[in-house]
């Protein structure tokens, strides 16, 4: 009997603003080292294992806008993303979870960036 394991690779990219800033990476780099390690480790696992990554949750927010939930000893972090193809995820916005409900202002930022990404994708086709 032969069991074939298909290798899964998801390309994760970061949203870049018109002024060439990388807001998600900048947010992560300002965190304590232990939280950076946990978040980058989770992202690496997502790249390798896709949506079956252990200890990470995914939740749909609105249409094509989704979030990754990552817990650390310092608390919870959320990263909004969009998948533009089966193999490509773009990280749009990140913040530290401080309340039960997702703050509206965080969703608004993510939705604005999502709109830019989708317009760019439509212009490519």
Q: What is the pLDDT of residues 46-67, one digit of tens each?
A: 998 888 888 899 999 999 999 9
Give a yes or no: residue 61 inside a domain.
Answer: yes
CATH number, domain with residue 118: 3.30.2310.20
Note if the pTM is more than 0.85.
yes
Q: Domain of residue 67: give its range.
A: 11-124
Give a yes or no: residue 4 inside a domain.
Answer: no
Number of structural domains (the chain) is 1
Task: Give CA–CA dist 82/23, Å, rounded.
Answer: 15
6-30 burial: b if 16+ Cβ within 10 Å, else e: eeeebebebbeeeeeeebbeebbee
Percent of the chain with pLDDT over 90: 72
**Residue closest to 96 by CA, chosen among 49, 54, 21, 36:** 36
């Amino acid at each position: 009997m032969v069991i074939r394991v298909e290798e899964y690779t998801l390309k994760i990219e970061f949203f870049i603003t018109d002024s060439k800033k990388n807001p998600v990476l900048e947010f992560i780099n300002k965190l304590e080292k232990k939280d950076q390690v946990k978040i980058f480790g989770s992202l690496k696992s997502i790249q390798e294992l896709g949506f079956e990554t252990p200890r990470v949750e995914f939740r749909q927010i609105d249409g094509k806008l989704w979030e990754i939930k990552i817990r650390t000893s310092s608390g919870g972090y959320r990263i909004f993303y969009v998948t533009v193809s089966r193999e490509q995820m773009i990280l749009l916005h990140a913040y530290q979870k401080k309340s039960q409900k997702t703050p509206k202002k965080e969703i608004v930022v993510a939705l604005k960036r999502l709109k830019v990404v989708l317009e760019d994708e439509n212009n490519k086709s």
